[in-house]
Amino acid sequence: MVNISEMTFLEKTKYYYHKYKIAYYFVLPTAIAMVLMHFFPIVQGLYMSFLRLNNFTLNQYLGAPFIGFGNFYDVMFNPSSPMRIGIYDAVRNTIIYSFLVTIGQTAVGMVVALMLSIEFKGRGLVRTLFMFSWIVPTYVTGILWGFMFQQTIGIINIILVDWLHLLAEKPFWLVGVNSIWAIIIPTIWRFWPFSMLMLLAGIQNVPQSLYDAAKIDGAGKWKTFWKITWPMLSPVWMILVLFGMIYNTYSFNIVIMMFGNGAGFPGKWGDLMMTNIFRNSFMRWDFGAGAATSVLLLLVMIIVVNFWYKHYKKTEEIF
């Protein structure tokens, strides 16, 4: 046994290199790609948030005037900055959206997973058919649901009003308050099968003996679910919730393709953080402020994830 603690730094490096040579070789390509495509750009992106990078200084790029925390001040506290136009709507919508979508996709996934855990003929095929909505590309999801949500000629209103008579008159989905539902529903539709797949695998892994024991104790279905299935699945759904939160906060494709196919303003109730940043960066050419908003969003995300991670670590050790 080699005593590592007595070695010099160089010796240590040499020792580890020899011991884990293959591991380092294996990791190297990924590490290079990470540094090139993640590290360098993100450093530039962070630096951009300190610059007054707008349409007049665009061609200077990183040589644009350095204004310290000016952009951050503008975004957060300066009421007369154009960056703040509509940011309140975007923040509110993003919170509602990512919260509801994450809950929705986990809940729908859970319900269908429970149904699919019943044995019946053709179960594999049904599961595959359920997965189909997860395969549809997100840009198609946006286009397709935008197409279906149209007020007069959209099939959703035709079914709801003309066929089923559930509503008195055709509601607007792509204009006004309903537009938040118009983005939440398709997103859930697109992502729930993944949750279902994970949860189903988890359910099938729960030992049958636990259920048998519960049955002997006389516990009902409802109780069995909350006392056994749900806690046993916690590692699965906690990860789903984490990734759901991250992805939904940064959701862009569905929203941008649904309203005017990438040109229009999604509306007071359809605008999300990403579309807001996108508009400020590429249509108002205030890249500095756009980058600053992204950085703020990133900070919020790190805090949330950290909080989640701490809580999660208590429940189960996975990393």
Partner 1 sequence: MAFVNYYQKERILRNVFLVIMFAFLIINSFPIFWMMFSSFKNNNDILSGKVGFSRAKNDVIGMELAGKDFYVFSQDGGIAVYDADTKKSLNKLKVNGRDVSYFLDSDFIYFANSTKGLYKIDRRTLEIKKEASSPVTGVDTNRLGKTSIVAYDDVVVYSIELKGMNRIYVYNKNDLSLARKVKLETNSDSFIRNIQIIGDKLYVNTNRYLLVLNKQTFVEEKRIDLGDNYLPAGVQEVKQVKGNNLLLLVQNGIYFIDTDKQAVLDVKDFGVSLFEDIIIKGETVYIVSPTGLKVANLNTGKVDIEAYHLVRELKDGVVVDPKSDYSSSEVTRIIANGDEVILGSSYGRVSFIKDLKGKPYDSFQLPLGHRLVMVENYADLWKNIDFGLYLKNSIIISGFTMLFAMILATLASYALVRFNFPGNKAFGVSILATQMIPQIMYLIPIFIMFKWVSDVTGVSVQGTHGGLTFIYTAFFVPFSIWILRSFFASIPVELEESARVDGCNAFQVFYKITLPLAVPGIVATGIYIFLQAWDELMFAWILTDSDTLTIPIGIRLFVGNYQNRYDLMMAAATIATLPVLVLFFLLQKHIVKGLTAGAVKG
Partner 2 sequence: MNKIFSSILISVILVSFSILISGCGAKEQKSGQTVVTMWVMPNSLEPINDLSDVLEDFHKENPDIKVQITSLDWGSAWQRITIATMSGEGPDILQLGTTWVGAVTGMGALADLTSKVSELGGSSYFLPSSWKYSGIDGSNAVTSIPWFVDARAMYYRTDVFNRLGLTKNDLATWESFQNTLDKINKANLTIDGKKVYPLGITGKNDWNVVHNLAPWIWMAGGDFLKEGNKECALYSNEAASGLSYLVNLVIKGYVPASCLEQNTSQVENAFNNGEYAIIFTGSNELRALTTPEEQGGAANTYVAKRFDIVPYPEGPKGKVTFVGGSNLSVFKNSKNKDEAWEVIKYLVGKKAQVEYSKRSGFLPSAMEAFDDPYFTQDVRRSVYREAVKYGRAYPCIPEWAQIEQPLNRRFGIMWEYVLNNKDKFTTDVIYDDVLKKAAIEVDKVLLMNR
Interface with partner 1 in residues 218-247 (CB under 8 A):
235-236, 239, 243, 246
The three-class DSSP label of residue 269 is coil
Selected from 155, 167, 213, 283, the binder of partner 1 by CB under 8 A is 155
Q: Which part of the chain contacts partner 1 (CB under 8 A), choosing from 71-79, 80-88, 174-182, 202-210?
A: 202-210
CB closer to partner 1, 10 vs 79: 10
270-291 core/surface letters (b: 16 or more CB in 10 A; e: else): bbbbbbbbbbbbeeebbbbbbb
The entry of partner 2, partner 1, none near residue 171 (CB within 5 to 8 angstroms by kind) is: none
Which of residues 85 and 213 has its CB atom nearest to partner 2 in the complex?
Answer: 85
Which phi-psi region, left, alpha or beta, contains residue 171 (left: φ > 0; alpha: ψ -120 to 50)? beta
Q: Which residues pair with 51 in a beta bridge?
A: 66
Q: Which of residues 67-96 bind partner 1 (CB under 8 A)?
A: none
For the four alpha carbons of 252, 256, 262 and 268, in that order, the dihedral sign comes to negative
Among 66, 88, 147, 307, binds partner 1 (CB under 8 A): 147
Gap between the Cα atoms of 25 and 187, Å rounded: 40
Interface pick for partner 1 out of 112, 183, 255, 272 (rule CB under 8 A):
112
Nearest to 146 by CA among 183, 111, 96: 183
Shortest gap between Cβ of 269 and partner 2 (angstroms)?
Answer: 8
Least distance from partner 1 to the Cβ atom of residue 143, Å: 6
Cα within 13 Å of Cα(48), Cβ side:
24
In the chain, what is the straight-line distance between the N-terminal and C-terminal CA atoms, in Å? Answer: 28
Q: Does 290 bind partner 1 (CB under 8 A)?
A: yes
Residue among 260, 254, 273, 298 nearest 45 (CA) = 298
Identified binder of partner 1 from the candidate list 204, 207, 213, 226, rule CB under 8 A: 204
Q: Which CB sits closer to partner 2, 151 or 224?
A: 151
In sequence order, which residues have a C-beta less than 8 Å from that of residue 50 and are 6 or more positions away? 66, 67, 68, 69, 70, 71, 288
Residues that bind partner 2 (CB under 8 A): 54-56, 58-59, 61, 80-82, 85-86, 150-152, 170, 172, 174-177, 259-265, 267-268, 279, 282-286
| Helix, coil or strand: residue 282 | helix
x/- letters, 5..24, toward partner 1 (CB under 8 A) = -----------x--xxxxxx
| Minimum distance, C-beta of residue 286 to partner 2, in the bound complex (Å) | 8
With CB under 5 to 8 Å by kind, the binding choice for 54 among partner 2, partner 1, none is partner 2
Nearer to partner 2, 3 or 80 (CB): 80
Q: Any contact of residue 102 with partner 1 (CB under 8 A)?
A: no
Nearest residue to 243 (alpha-carbon basis) of 289, 205, 195, 209 = 195
